[in-house]
């Protein structure tokens, strides 16, 4: 059968335990008397199809099985990943400080050109906030990645975050494909590296609530 | 076990799904038209009956039906889930054919399939050794429109 999509991207969520990674991806529901069969077993990954500029993109999104508690995210989990959501909790300073360690872990284990994005989750808990939005923005600029504040609980900008990451991977990929089909002529041995992204225009949309 | 193949005939065109397959609960699109093949899953096992007086051997067919756990379970039944016998499935060869779907953690040789949006499930199962996925016709909606409504 013919392929029904143009691109396939594998995405991961990384960050301290408790920041809300599983909630960003899944929404288990239970009541007092019944449990759903699925919530008992847990979900491993999801396949989603999105439409970006007329192209069908398949996203395969993986959650950790809680290994992050022991800081044992290994090369196996990162294998084949093209995009990583780095998640911290805006009400937990430590989870924000640890983003640097997670970035180091990614550099050691994931493919070098993996696209990253920073998520400040639980943004509906304004009264408990410990990490200002400006600090989130600043850290993202430092690493040349995009930043967005989300709330998995209140369903704020979660979908937008995945679209943004997918669009960035697609752009990068199309650029590579284009370069591969028109190799630079003589003289240019090395390809220009990716220009640093300016997240300004995009950040202006990230005004909170 | 009622055989509903006749009712399902209208959903099949050249052995494949004629219409969009959606979640019953939230209308999330699971499979687009013509992306899965209709399968009547019955594994026949033959029990050997030696009828010695006639000097013949007869084989008695026994149909094994897939036991798919119910979506809702009463608390406490986790280790021994209540199941439903299902034989009509949409078979999907490549998991990437799914438009939207969730895969549960592994249980034995199986990963259960769920809606990617509301996580209702199991709507079917994925058989790890054969890499085939099966969506139960009775656990999904067949619809003409791809719109979520
Ligand atoms: N208030 C609030 N709580 C959240 C949000 N996202 C997750 N949580 C809660 O944070 C806790 C940890 O979430 P979980 O997804 O298991 O975190 P993980 O360890 O990163 O996978 C749970 O109690 C969630 O209900 C959010 O956006 N807002
Ligand atoms: Mg988790
Ligand atoms: Zn659903």
Residue to probe by mutation, ligand 1, list A14, A21, A23, A151, most atoms within 8 Å of CB: A23
Q: Which domains does chain A have, with CATH numbers?
A: 7-180 (3.40.50.300)
Among candidate residues B73, B89, B66, the one with its CA nearest the CA of residue B139: B89
Strand runs (DSSP E) across chain B, as ranges?
A: 12-13, 16-17, 20-23, 29-31, 37-40, 43-51, 56-64, 66-69, 72-74, 83-86, 88-92, 101-107, 110-114, 124-127, 132-136, 140-143
Alpha-carbon separation of residue A34 from A28, B70, B72, B74, B111 (angstroms) = 12, 12, 6, 5, 22
CATH of the domain at B130: 2.170.150.10
User: How far is the C-alpha of B118 from the C-alpha of B28, rounded, in Å?
Assistant: 8
The helix (H) or strand (E) run that includes residue B11 is none
Q: What is the pLDDT of residue A197?
A: 43
Residue from B144, B114, B140 nearest B126 by CA: B114
pLDDT reported for residue B50: 58
pTM of the model: 0.78
The whole-number pLDDT of residue A37 equals: 81
Using CA coordinates, name the residue in chain A closest to B121: A38
β-strand pairing of A83-89 with A7-14? parallel
Neighbours of B3 (CB within 10 A): 10
pLDDT in tens, B127-142: 999 999 999 999 999 9
Interchain proximity B119–A38, CB inside 8 Å: yes
Q: Quick check: is B44 in a domain?
A: yes
Contact A150, A24 (CB under 8 A): yes
As for how many domains chain B has, the answer is 1
Atom of ligand 1 lying closest to residue A63 CA: 21
**Protein residue with least CA distance to atom 10, ligand 1:** A20
Distance CA A3, CA B98 (A): 11
At A88, the pLDDT band (50, 70, 90 cuts) reads very high
Q: Does the distance separating the beta carbons of B98 and A47 come in below 8 Å?
A: yes
B148 located within any domain: no
Beta bridge partners of B16: B13, B37
Q: Which ligand is nearest to the CA of A27?
A: 1
CB contact A42 to B (< 8 Å): yes
Q: Which domain holds residue B132?
A: 8-72+83-143
pLDDT digits (tens, 9 = 90+) for A126-147: 999 999 999 999 999 999 999 9
Subunit contact A42:B35, Cβ cutoff 8 A: no
pLDDT digits (tens, 9 = 90+) for A33-83: 556 788 788 888 999 999 999 999 999 998 876 778 777 777 888 889 999
Two tokens at A38?
């699925």
């Amino acid at each position: 059968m013919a392929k029904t999509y143009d691109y396939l991207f594998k995405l991961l969520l990384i960050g301290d335990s408790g920041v809300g990674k599983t909630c960003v991806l899944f929404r288990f529901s239970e009541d007092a008397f019944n449990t759903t069969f699925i919530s008992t077993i847990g979900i491993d990954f999801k396949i989603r199809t999105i439409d970006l500029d007329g192209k069908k993109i398949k996203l395969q999104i993986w959650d950790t099985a809680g290994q992050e508690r022991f800081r044992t995210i290994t090369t196996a989990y990162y294998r084949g990943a093209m995009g990583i959501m780095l998640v911290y909790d805006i009400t937990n300073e430590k989870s924000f400080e640890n983003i640097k360690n997670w970035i180091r872990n990614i550099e050691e284990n994931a493919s070098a050109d993996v696209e990253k994005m920073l998520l400040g989750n639980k943004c509906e808990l304004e009264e408990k906030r410990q990490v200002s939005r400006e600090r989130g923005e600043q850290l993202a600029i430092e690493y040349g990645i995009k930043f967005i504040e989300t709330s998995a609980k209140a369903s704020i900008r979660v979908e937008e975050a995945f679209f943004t990451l997918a669009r960035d991977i697609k752009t990068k990929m199309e650029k590579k494909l284009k370069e591969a089909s028109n190799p630079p002529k003589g003289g240019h041995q090395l390809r220009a590296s990716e220009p640093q992204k300016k997240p300004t225009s995009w950040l202006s949309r990230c005004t909170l609530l | 076990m009622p055989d509903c193949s006749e009712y399902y005939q209208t959903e099949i065109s050249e052995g494949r799904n004629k219409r969009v397959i959606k979640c019953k609960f939230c209308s999330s699109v699971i499979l687009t038209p013509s992306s899965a093949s209709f399968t009547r899953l019955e594994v026949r096992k033959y029990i050997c009956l030696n009828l010695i007086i006639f000097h013949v051997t007869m084989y008695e067919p026994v149909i094994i039906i897939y036991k798919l756990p119910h979506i809702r379970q009463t608390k406490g039944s986790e280790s021994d889930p209540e199941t439903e016998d299902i034989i009509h499935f949409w078979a999907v060869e490549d998991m990437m054919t799914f438009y939207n779907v969730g895969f549960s953690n592994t249980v034995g040789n199986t990963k259960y399939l769920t809606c990617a949006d509301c996580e209702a499930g199991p709507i079917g199962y994925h058989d790890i050794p054969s890499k085939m996925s099966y969506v139960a016709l009775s656990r999904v909606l067949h619809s003409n429109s791809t719109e979520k409504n």
